[in-house]
Amino acid sequence: MGGRISQLFGRWFPKVEPELRVGMLGLDNAGKTTILYQLKLDRNIESVPTVGFNVEKVRCGKMVMNIWDVSGSRPRTRVLWEHYNQNTRAIIFVVDATDVRRLPRALDELRWLWCRPELAEAVFLLFANKQDLPGALGAEQLMALLQLQSLTQQWAIQECCAINGMGLAEGLQQLQQMLTSTRGKRHSGTYSIK
């Protein structure tokens, strides 16, 4: 249980801090649960299904991950965010790269996150998911459409396919690199293609 991601995080986050809080967010259907399944991160310690959206809390070693579907009732999601996500060091934001119609909504959620004062020092990893499907937008296109250049926090975007795992390990590696180099290094970003 939790084998692969335990190994990854054990290797990449050995002494970051006693508990590493990571928020995984994205619109519903983006692929968050599939990513977790692919990473075999299946120790679900809390699930708060509410009308319109879901919060799940997963622990793996020193990492505690709060997973959010952010498509639901916005005021409610945002109040709960403050309750669940104090001291979050990193955000993994999953985008369905084929869902062009809902990109503005994803951008809206991202913008809200990166303006949060408690996330001023957090790092952002975007997974451009579903690269196996025709019409999936690439990292470079999403970088422009999601206006990542305007992010003041450190960020990276990684193309991936949650179904076969392509790009997931690379994304986590980028997250680790950002977490170990956050101090004094702002306004930077990278993108990575398959």
Site string for ligand G3D, 32-71 (x = CB under 6 A): xxx----------------------------------x--
Applying CB under 6 A, the span of 1-9, 77-85, 119-127, 156-164 interacting with ligand G3D comes to 156-164
Burial letters 156-170, b for 16+ CB under 10 A, else e = bbbbbbbbeebbbbe
Taking the complex as a whole, how short is the minimal distance between the CB of residue 17 and ligand G3D, in angstroms? 27
Among 6, 29, 33, 190, interactor with Mg ion by CB under 5 A: 33
Among 8, 20, 25, 30, interactor with ligand G3D by CB under 6 A: 30
Query: Is there binding between residue 171 and ligand G3D (CB under 6 A)?
Result: no
Find tokens 């290797």 and name the residue. 11
Taking the complex as a whole, how short is the minimal distance between the CB of residue 15 and ligand G3D, in angstroms? 31
Among the listed residues 32, 56, 41, the one whose alpha carbon sits nearest the alpha carbon of residue 5 = 41
CA dihedral of 68, 22, 178, 162, whole degrees rounded to 10? -50
Q: With contact defined as beta carbons under 8 Å apart, do 127 and 88 qualify?
A: no
Distance of alpha carbon 170 from alpha carbon 155, whole angstroms: 14
Distance of alpha carbon 53 from alpha carbon 55, whole angstroms: 7
Measured between its terminal Cα atoms, the distance across the chain in Å is 27
Among 64, 145, 163, 169, interactor with ligand G3D by CB under 6 A: 163
Between 100 and 133, name the residue whose CB sits nearer to ligand G3D: 133
Distance of alpha carbon 94 from alpha carbon 127, whole angstroms: 5
Instruction: Choose from ligand G3D, Mg ion, none: what does 34 bind? Cβ within 5-8 Å by kind.
Output: ligand G3D
Applying CB under 5 A, the span of 5-13, 26-34, 101-109, 176-184 interacting with Mg ion comes to 26-34
Which residues lie near ligand G3D (CB under 6 A)? 26, 28-34, 69, 129-130, 132-133, 161-163
